[in-house]
Amino acid sequence: MASGSSTKLWGGRFSGKTDPLMQKYNESLSYDRRMYAQDIRGSQAYAKATCKAGILTPEERDAIIEGLEKVREEWATGTFVIKPETDEDIHTANERRLGDHIGTHISGKLHTGRSRNDQVATDMRLWLRDELDNIEKYLIEFLKVTAVAASDQIDALMPGYTHVQRAQPIRWSHWVMSHAFMFLSDLERLRELKKRVNKSPLGCGALAGNPFNLDREFLAKELGFDGCIQNSLIGVADRDFVVETLQWATLMMNHMSRWSEDLILYSTAEFGFVTLADAYSTGSSLMPQKKNSDSLELLRGKSGRVFGQMAGFLYTIKGLPSSYNKDLQEDKEPLFDCVTTVQNSLQIASGVVATWSIHPNKMKAALTMDMLATDLADYLVRKGVPFRETHHISGSCVQAAEKQGLSGIDQLGLEALKKIDNRFEADVLEVFDFERSVELRSSIGGTCRASVVKQIEELNKFLQLG
């Protein structure tokens, strides 16, 4: 039912009723209610600051703080009763209910010098700061689980791929750590992002600042911010922290998608390198034999969801004029959904890693001697032959084995190798060993055991220092 505009905070200017559809179109309480605790915390700090500025008496300040605690408890216990005709958003809902508890004569003073413009910007930064802490916790847990898996499964050798073609032998743990370092970069970027989120806009008013000599530094400190946004116009209009969060999430979920794609392939019967636990798989409604890696497919799919949220919100704000515009109300739904998606995704990914089973025998069976062609070239390099020449010689060996229908270049034998190039000697047969090949890659970042162990140690060291 449409209500008279006089029941709204901004109603004094209006005499007509709001179109019911417009009222529904305008409201945001259905989704911004999740910020109830942050809105109350910000209002309690604002009550302290306005008392400090002489607007509220200490008794009024205390009444507001205590009344807001009652409102918080109602939200927490699910007993808060929403009044759609007045409660447009979390701010008006909390202020209206505060008035019910302590009377509007006192509650009506709380908003002095404050606008919903700086209030919502504050709430969002407080809420996002809390949620980014949770995301960091889930990301660290994912990295820890990954490090444990890499350490426990370091003996397994598998084909490394380029262009989705078997290339050179590597350790399974080397593949595991390749993704871990992408997620580690995400963790570093997340910590940088948190610094930019943690700035206070409270006290900027609607756009021009506060006229009551409000101590904004006190407010910032009270709310745990690192400092104040220094310009009131940008304080109420800035949503870069939302954009940057969506961008960070897009990149992180892109990494999650690539990780998932590898595992989806490796879990197929054609590869058979890894099996997901039943807890992270589903079956087919038609084919009883199917075990689908739906957890990974959903992770891959939700990366597109997050990217769409980022692109959509960027498009929303790209042409906005200065200061606050109602378009900015479109910041919350994509941000809220993105945060939920990221938190759930990281927890699912941790579960996948903690419960997967790898199959080293199938990995080993997928290794083929042609993958040691580079090692064969390197053998002659160590005898002083230029690599460009050895590359050609090794290719001739591969071609010779193929023409003879042999299973690999190791089947050519010493005499056949010497006919291709007389610099091959008896020790060339030592080249045809996958473990040896892997262990030769001993430089920093390589796939030998010591190098992979070092990678795991570096990851764990970073997580401990963080």
| pLDDT digits 0-9 by tens, 273-318 | 999 999 998 877 677 676 888 999 999 999 999 999 999 999 999 9
Those residues whose C-beta lies under 8 Å from the C-beta of residue 11, and which sit 6 or more positions away, are: 4, 5
Instruction: Please state, as a whole number, how many other Cβ atoms lie within 10 Å of the Cβ of residue 288.
Output: 7
pLDDT score of 237: 97
Is pTM beyond 0.75 here?
yes
User: Is 15 among the residues known to form the active site?
Assistant: no
Give the C-alpha separation, 455 to 466, whole Å.
17
Average of per-residue pLDDT across 89-117: 96
pLDDT score of 11: 54
Residue 17 reports pLDDT greater than 90: no
Those residues whose C-beta lies under 8 Å from the C-beta of residue 13, and which sit 6 or more positions away, are: none
Q: How far is CA 68 from the centre of its chain?
A: 33
* Catalytic residue selected from 6, 30, 185, 284: 284
C-beta separation of 53 from 213 below 8 A? yes
Instruction: Please state, as a whole number, how many other Cβ atoms lie within 10 Å of the Cβ of residue 6.
Output: 11
Q: How far is CA 81 from the centre of its chain?
A: 34
- Sign (positive/negative) of CA torsion 160, 166, 168, 170? positive
Q: What 3-state class would DSSP assign to 167?
A: strand
pLDDT score of 23: 79
Those residues whose C-beta lies under 8 Å from the C-beta of residue 448, and which sit 6 or more positions away, are: 438, 439, 440, 441, 442
Q: What 3-state class would DSSP assign to 404?
A: coil
* Alpha-helix runs per DSSP H in 318-386: 332-355, 360-365, 373-381
Average of per-residue pLDDT across 117-127: 98
Helix (H) or strand (E) holding 5: none
Give the C-alpha separation, 352 to 274, whole Å.
11
For residue 158, list its beta bridge partners.
170
Residue 381 reports pLDDT greater than 80: yes
Average of per-residue pLDDT across 330-349: 97
pLDDT score of 3: 39
pLDDT score of 399: 95
**What whole-number percentage of the chain has pLDDT above 70?**
95
Query: Poorest-confidence range of 233-247, 282-296, 336-350, 417-431?
Result: 282-296
* Catalytic residue selected from 15, 105, 163, 285: 163
Average of per-residue pLDDT across 68-73: 98
Q: How far is CA 86 from the centre of its chain?
A: 36
Average of per-residue pLDDT across 165-194: 98
15 pLDDT band (50/70/90 cuts)? low
Average of per-residue pLDDT across 103-110: 96
pLDDT score of 9: 56
- How high is the mean pLDDT of the chain? 94
Residue 2 reports pLDDT greater than 80: no
Average of per-residue pLDDT across 203-216: 96
Residue 44 reports pLDDT greater than 90: yes
pLDDT score of 24: 80
C-beta separation of 265 from 271 below 8 A? yes
User: Is 391 among the residues known to form the active site?
Assistant: no
Residue 161 reports pLDDT greater than 50: yes
Q: Which of 224, 225, 248 is nearest to 235 (CA)?
A: 225
pLDDT score of 1: 34
Q: Which of 32, 327, 38, 60 is nearest to 202 (CA)?
A: 38
pLDDT score of 22: 77
pLDDT score of 13: 56
Average of per-residue pLDDT across 26-33: 90
Helix (H) or strand (E) holding 160: strand 157-162
Average of per-residue pLDDT across 223-245: 97
Q: How far is CA 188 from the centre of its chain?
A: 11
pLDDT score of 48: 98
Give the C-alpha separation, 220 to 444, whole Å.
45
Those residues whose C-beta lies under 8 Å from the C-beta of residue 178, and which sit 6 or more positions away, are: none
Give the C-alpha separation, 449 to 295, whole Å.
31
3-state helix/strand/coil string of 55-85 = CCCHHHHHHHHHHHHHHHHHHHHCCCCCCCC
Residue 8 reports pLDDT greater than 70: no
Please report the domains of the chain, with CATH numbers, ordered by start residue: 5-107 (1.10.275.10), 124-155+162-191+235-365 (1.20.200.10), 369-432 (1.10.40.30)
Q: Which of 284, 259, 265 is nearest to 175 (CA)?
A: 259
C-beta separation of 46 from 61 below 8 A? no
Give the C-alpha separation, 370 to 167, whole Å.
9
Residue 5 reports pLDDT greater than 60: no
442 pLDDT band (50/70/90 cuts)? very high
Residue 436 reports pLDDT greater than 70: yes
